[in-house]
Structures are given as C-alpha cells and as structure tokens.
Structure 1
Amino acid sequence: MASCAFVSRSRWLKANGLLLPTGVWLGIFLIAPLALVVQFSFATRDTGVARAVLPWTTQAYLTALNPAFLPIFLRTLAYAFATTALCLLLGFPLAWFIARHGGRFRTVLLVAVLIPFWSSYLARIYAWKALLDGDGLVNQLLGVVGLDRSGGFLLTHSAVVLGLTYGFLPFMVLPLYVACERFDHRLVEASFDLGHGRVSTFFRIVLPGVFSGVLAGSLLVLVPAAGDFVTPRLLGGVGQSTFGSVIDDQFRGGNNWPLGSAMAVLLLLLVVAVLVLRGRRGEDVL
C-alpha cells in the first residue's frame, strides 16, 4: 500500500510539475495585472493621481454604474453582438465551403483567411478609414449608382461594425472550419433521402453537428469585440464611443485610474457572465 501511495504521489508531482511553467506564466502576466486592476478600482483619486492604498472605497464603481454611462454600455453590447452575428453569417458559408469543397486547396484557402493577421491591426483599421472617407474608394464606387454619402461613411455605427467584423472574422472562420471538417457529411445525404429539405436539414442536422464550432467562434469574436476601443475610436469617433473607449480615456487623458479600473472590472464580469451562460447553453444543446 505504501508503495502504491508513493507511486501515486510521484505521478501527481510529475503531472503538476509539467503545469508549473504555465501556472507561473499565467500568474505573472494574467493574475497579477488583474489583481492590480481590481486593487486600483477600489482606490481613491487624489489631485489627479490614483492611490492604491487604504482606505479603499467603492466610489469608482458607483460612478461607473451611473445611468449616464448606460447608453455607452448598451452601444458596446450592440456592437459586440452585431459583429458576432455578421461574422457568423459570413464565416459559416466560407468555413463550410473550405471544409466540404476545398480539396487540395484547403491549406491555401485557410492561409488566405489568415493573411490579414500578417499586418498590423492598427494599419488595417487606418486602411478602412481611408476607404470609408468622403473621398474614399467605397464612396466613389457607390456614387456611380447614386448611393454615395456626403462626408463618406466614417463616424457611423455601420463603419464601426464593419471594422470590427473585418478584424475578427478569422476568429469565427477557424473554429467553424474545424467543426465542419469533423462533421460527417453523410448525415446530410441521409437527411435528404429521408425527405427533408435544405432548410430542415440545416437546422436539424448541420447546425447541431457543428454547434461546438459556432459556440467557440461566437465567444472568440464576442469577447474581444466587446473590449475593442481602437476601431470605435478611429471609425466611429466620439459619437460612437464604447466602454473600451471610455476606459482608455480614463487611463490616458482623464487620469482617473480608479474609474477606468472599475469599468474594466465590470466589463470583465460581463464577459465572464456571457461565457458562463453560453457554456451552459452549449452543454444543454450538446
């Protein structure tokens, strides 16, 4: 018995020893910064400088929960969910085509999906800013059919959602591709043989079969889209500011670290709540 206990303890030590580097990495670069942000959220602001020392206060949270920030909060959610929906509508057909009909060109098509990642995200958003400007290519092309707009399409909700969708679309395509590639396509043929149409087959067979990819892709898009502040700032301006933009303002121009930290914590709690709810829903469906 003592020998078995020694062997079990040795295996436990080896297994946890392999996780030690990952634990140290997460502790230094994730847990410690997060703890610092939480600490600052309870700090006080004194002459423009945040003091993360006692006495702590919840004033920053009371300010962050002020109804004046509610429109910005709802706008952030609207942008995030609209981006997720558009990425799903655009990414699912693309992932299905690559998995089903890509053949020997699958690798080339996947590389084409990843090509935008080879350049800076900031540079790509500036490119969209030039395209959507009043003198940009998009407005000029729409002007041929009389659909151009004075001043272009910058500083609009559509511009923000378009930029977010472009930036995060690959995060949707890759998980969907994995799910579609693993999906048994013979089930579709069997569904047709049993008399089901395309719509019925999609909702009864295809969607449940690739739901894990839909869930993973939606989370990978929803979470960063909710916290993004670069795209709304460059393509939307002040009128389309988001929670992430306000947080950035507090840490830079506003010099109100407690308020910015409190908003960051609230946004993090929202994301965690969405993850938990979507995870439970995924377990129920699967």
Structure 2
Amino acid sequence: MAALTHTGPVAGATAPASTPRRMRTRRRQIGWAFVAPFGALFALVFIVPIVYAAYLSLFQERLVGGRVFAGLANYTKLAADPQFWDGFARVVRFTIVQVPVMLLLAMALALALDSLRLRGSKFLRIVIFLPYAVPAIVSTLMWGFMLGVRYGLFRNLNDWLGTSLDPFRPGATLVSIGVMVTWAFTGYNMLIFYAALRAVPHELYEAAAIDGANQWRVIRAIKLPALRGSLVVTIIFSIIGTFQIFNEPQILPSMVANSGITTYYTPNLYAYNLAFTGSQQGYAAALALVMAAMTIAIAYAVQIRGMKRALQD
C-alpha cells in the first residue's frame, strides 16, 4: 500500500508538466502553419528574384561565347557609366524638389480637413484621394493628352492664343512629370497625415482653448509635433517611389515630341532598356541591385535621423 501511495503522486506530478509542453509545441506548429503561406509567397516573389538577379549580375552576354561568367565586371562598368549617373542625378534632383512640395501640400490639406471648418469634408477626402486610385499608366496617358501639344488642352491653347507653350520640352519635362506624380500621390500622403491628426487627444485642444490659444498656435504647438512620426514615414515612402519612376518616361515619348526623354532618363528605365532591348540582362541586374542598395541606404538614413529627432524631442 505504501508503494501505491508513493507512485501515485509521482505520476500525477509528471502529467501536468508534459501537458503544457505539448500545448506550446502545438501552438508553435499552428503559428508556423498560419505563417507558411505568406512565407512561401514572400520567398517566391521577393527572395528568389533577388537571388536570381544577383546570380545574373555575375554574367555578361557576348556575341562570341554567349553568356560567360564575368565576376564583378558589371559593377565596375556601372561605376564608370555616365548614362547611369546622369539618370541617377536626375532622379535625385527630382526627389529633392518634388517630395517636399508634395508633402507640404498633403500636410496643408490634412490640416484644413482636420480644422472642421470645411463643408463637405468627407466628400473632399474622397476627391483628394481619388487620383491615387487611378492606375499609373492611365494617369500618364491622361496627362499626356492634356499637356501634349500634338493634341489636347495645350494644343488648343496655343491655337487660340497664338503661343508655342510646350510643357514637355526638354527643359520642362521633369517639371511636368513632377506635376503628374504630385497629383497622383498627394491624396495618399494626406490621408496618412489626417489619420495622425485624428489620433491627437481632444484634451490637448481643450487645454489650448482654455489657455486662449488661437488656431495658428494650436497648429504650431500641437498638430505639427503630432505629424513628425507620420512625416518620417511619408518621406521614406516618397523617396522609394521617386527612385522607381518608370511609367511616365516610358509612355510619354510615344505621345509627345522632343521631350528630351532618353533611354537612360531614369535608372529604372535604363535597366528596362538594357534587359529587354539591349539584351544585357546581367548588366541590368547589377544596375537594379545597386539602385536597390542606394534606395535602402537613403531611406534608412532618413529613418534614423527622424528617430533621433523624435527621441530628442
């Protein structure tokens, strides 16, 4: 009887210890089962293309011998390629001007909608955001018809006024592309700013009203500081987007004349023409990887700088 009473508690003590372990294992398996579809899709559409591009960048296509291993020759060639650096400098200039203009406009619209002094604010939110829902190709075609001098608005204006205005002349093409991009993405950034403003506690506004602060004081002391985090996010997204400009310079040359858009107008367009027109897939892969690395580095630097300012404040 003593032996029975001794073994009973031991068996009863080991069972509860093993049951939680099995439950944790089961939960871990269920978690991996939920993550597995996303992981497989992520690897298929993201990891595998990057690995394949890195593999292609180590080869060159030659008339004699076909595809041959070249090591880092494509990267050294890219470093001395004036066409690549010309397109990269153009994109940087475009980013420096277009991104601040777009974000300032989006911020002003968000502040106006948050002021609750505009009638039909819900309708205005939809109207301002609507251009973002227009596909990039459709947007480019639309603006090409409006701003082109072959047909459309500016041709009619030139006929009526006897002028020769051309928004797509070589010196103004980049400005016109900036107008197109700003029109398309201002509403998207405006919604990010507007969501950040709506998250501000109403107690802060009540305290400011008690202190006698006017609207401009509320904007400077409460609303603008609340937008710092969302501003960093929108800057990063906008930099990534401008570095990927492709649709506009790809479509516009067939719609407008003497636009100054070359085959290397932007790095993305240059990579596309190298791969599908020049049959230089290895060189195009090296260009794409270098541009991706530059974009990541710039976006990361902006993020670190924004985080430091947030922590200091």
Q: Is the partner of 2:243 in helix, strand or coil?
A: helix
Question: Residues 47, 184 of structure 1: CA spacing in aligned structure 2 closer, same or farther, 3 A cutoff?
Answer: farther
Does 2:63 align with 1:47?
A: yes
Q: Deviations over 1:97-146 (max 9, x none)?
A: 33342889554333323423444321221221122223642576699899
- Give the letter for the 1:94 counterpart: L
- Give the letter for the 2:58 counterpart: F
Look up the match of 2:241.
224
Alignment of 1:181-220 (within 5 A): 181-184=198-201, 187=204, 190=207, 202-220=219-237
Q: Which moved more, 1:179-188 or 1:270-279?
A: 179-188
- Structure 1 unaligned blocks of 5 or more: none
Contact 2:146 2:152 in 1 (8 A): yes
Query: Which of 75, 93, 96 is 1:78 aligned to?
Result: 93
Does 2:281 align with 1:257?
A: yes
Question: Residues 204, 57 of structure 1: CA spacing in aligned structure 2 closer, same or farther, 3 A cutoff?
Answer: farther
Question: Residues 46, 210 of structure 1: CA spacing in aligned structure 2 closer, same or farther, 3 A cutoff?
Answer: same
Look up the match of 2:26.
10
Question: Residues 128, 20 of structure 1: CA spacing in aligned structure 2 closer, same or farther, 3 A cutoff?
Answer: same
Contact 2:129 2:188 in 1 (8 A): no
Look up the match of 1:238.
261
Contact 1:232 1:241 in 2 (8 A): yes
Q: Deviations over 1:195-240 (max 9, x none)?
A: 8776665454322212222222222222122111121344554258
Look up the match of 1:57.
71
- Give the letter for the 2:123 counterpart: V
Query: Which of 21, 27, 31 is 2:43 aligned to?
Result: 27
Look up the match of 2:185.
168
Question: Residues 117, 197 of structure 1: CA spacing in aligned structure 2 closer, same or farther, 3 A cutoff?
Answer: closer
Look up the match of 2:104.
89
Give the TM-score of the pair, scaled to structure 1: 0.83
Query: Which of 265, 272, 275 is 2:296 aligned to?
Result: 272
Task: Measure, in 1, the Cα distance between the counterparts of 2:189 and 2:66.
Answer: 39
Q: Deviations over 1:237-266 (max 9, x none)?
A: 425811112111111222111111111111
- Deviation, 1:28, is 1.0
What percentage of residue pairs aligned between the two structures are identical? Answer: 18
Question: Residues 179, 258 of structure 1: CA spacing in aligned structure 2 closer, same or farther, 3 A cutoff?
Answer: same
Contact 1:215 1:278 in 2 (8 A): yes
Contact 2:154 2:166 in 1 (8 A): no
- Give the letter for the 2:73 counterpart: Q
Question: Residues 71, 48 of structure 1: CA spacing in aligned structure 2 closer, same or farther, 3 A cutoff?
Answer: farther
The number of residue pairs the alignment matches comes to 283
- Deviation, 1:187, is 3.3
Q: Which moved more, 1:211-220 or 1:100-109?
A: 100-109
Q: Deviations over 1:67-109 (max 9, x none)?
A: 5132221111221332221210211122223334288955433
Give the TM-score of the pair, scaled to structure 2: 0.76
Question: Residues 199, 98 of structure 1: CA spacing in aligned structure 2 closer, same or farther, 3 A cutoff?
Answer: closer
Q: Deviations over 1:144-168 (max 9, x none)?
A: 899x654444442211211222232
- Deviation, 1:285, is 3.0
Q: Which runs of 4+ in 1 moved over 6 A?
A: 142-146, 195-200
Task: Measure, in 2, the Cα distance between the counterparts of 1:154 and 1:254.
Answer: 27
Question: Residues 262, 191 of structure 1: CA spacing in aligned structure 2 closer, same or farther, 3 A cutoff?
Answer: farther
Cα RMSD between the aligned structures? Answer: 3.3
Question: Residues 21, 254 of structure 1: CA spacing in aligned structure 2 closer, same or farther, 3 A cutoff?
Answer: same
Contact 1:169 1:221 in 2 (8 A): no
Does 2:175 align with 1:158?
A: yes
Contact 2:60 2:70 in 1 (8 A): yes
Task: Measure, in 1, the Cα distance between the counterparts of 2:309 and 2:81.
Answer: 36
Question: Residues 255, 237 of structure 1: CA spacing in aligned structure 2 closer, same or farther, 3 A cutoff?
Answer: farther
- Structure 2 unaligned blocks of 5 or more: 1-16, 253-258
- Give the letter for the 1:27 counterpart: A
Does 2:138 align with 1:123?
A: yes
